[in-house]
Structure 1
Amino acid sequence: MQRYTIPAIVLHWLTALLIVSAFALGVTMVDIPGLTPTKLKYYSWHKWLGVTVLGLACLRILWRLTHAAPAYPGNMPGWQQKAAHALHGLLYLLIFAIPLSGYFYSLAAGVPVVYLGVVPLPVFIDADPELKAVLKQVHYAFNMLLLSAIALHLLAALKHHFIDKDGVLKRMLP
């Protein structure tokens, strides 16, 4: 069975780790009451993780455009191949949409994003309380959709490994 390239594997697992970290930090920070120094620090870290995920998503797309993914096993049904392709498309879409929705949510809240506390990112929109409320819901909905898509992705990988025993999961393991 053909494997993914080492850069593709590294980008996959690094992106996954950062997404899990950003999600956990997001859940933690919104539960902190009031506006405390810790909460502000967590918001900054969350944004930095989001910007990093967006950068890695760009690298992943560039890599993928120049390096084809390994073929699916010959005995994998066509509907499963189409479902896998669709799910991967959704995952890619969300790893762009979530950081962008968070970025614009922050801008609509009137809070600029300063990557790593050093690099101010462009401010494309003015503060807008109505847009802020919409973008907050969009950011949340995208995250819930990503959580569901990741769960499905993990379940499919485990099915291929333990039930089908077709090597699909091994293609992406370090």
Structure 2
Amino acid sequence: MQVRNTSSRFGLVSVVLHWLVALAVFGLFGLGYYMVDLGYYDPWYRKGPDIHRSIGILLFIVMLGRLAWRWGNRTPAPLATHKRWEVLTAHATHGLLYLLIFVAMVSGYLISTADGSAIDVFGWFRVPSVTGQVKGLEDSAGAVHYWSTWVLVLLAVTHALAALKHHIFDRDQTLRRMFGR
């Protein structure tokens, strides 16, 4: 498999980044959903949020790299069998997925740093608060985080279902291209 994208296929870097981000988004959503109901004495009460924040910061770094890779790399052309509305919808969906990922990450960061504290990323490095202490920020950022993550996951599921539609019903190469085939 080639490293860079071609006019007809995604390259190794794009494929790995796509699936890494998908795994992180669904993993973070699942962990976040699980954490909401944890009691104070549950062992995951402190561990879960630390892991969630750390992976979120690492995902932010990966997404910056993914954007740079996407801007410096061609995107495979749509298949000739794709209808115009499918191409336009796919472009809009991808743009919205990127936007929602960044909204979720920034709002999550603001929740965690609203009290002025830094985020410790697995003990490797710390990301300081850029806001300092801001009363009520965690509540407004929390609402944004909650709704943006739900919309993100629902849109990602729709995106996956569309890929399966192309694979199962249209029998085209859409899904295979994202597996590097």
CA contact (8 A) 1:47 1:113 kept: yes
- More helix by percentage: 1
Map 1:63-82 → 2, pairs under 5 A: 63-82=69-88
Total equivalences in the alignment? 174
Deviations 1:47-77 (A, max 9, x none): 0111111111111111101111111111211
- d(CA) in 2 for partners of 1:87, 1:134: 26
TM-score, structure 2 normalization = 0.90
Q: What is aligned with 2:97?
A: 91
Is 2:20 the counterpart of 1:14?
yes
TM-score, normalized by length of structure 1? 0.93
Displacement after TM superposition at 1:17 (Å): 1.1
1:132 alignment partner in structure 2: 138
- What runs of 5+ residues in structure 2 fail to find an aligned partner? 1-6
Alignment of 1:131-170 (within 5 A): 131-170=137-176
The correspondence for 1:32, drawn from 38, 44, 50, is 38
Deviation at 1:34, TM superposition (A): 2.3
Structure 1 residue ranges (4+ consecutive) displaced by more than 6 angstroms after TM superposition: none
Report % sequence identity: 36
SS at match of 2:136: helix
**Contact persistence 2:167–2:173 (CA under 8 A):** yes
1:128 Cα shift? 2.7
Cα distance in 2 for residues equivalent to 1:88 and 1:33:
37
Residue 113 of structure 2: which of 107, 132, 152 is its match? 107
Q: CA RMSD in A?
A: 1.6
Q: Which runs of 5+ in 1 are unaligned?
A: none
Q: Residue 29 of structure 1 contacts residue 39 of structure 1 at CA under 8 Å; is this kept in 2?
A: yes
Deviations 1:60-119, CA, capped at 9 Å, x for gaps: 111101111111111211111000000000111122221111001111144421111231
Between 1:125-134 and 1:51-60, the stretch displaced more is 125-134
Question: Does structure 2 conserve the Cα–Cα contact (< 8 Å) formed by 1:106 and 1:113?
Answer: yes
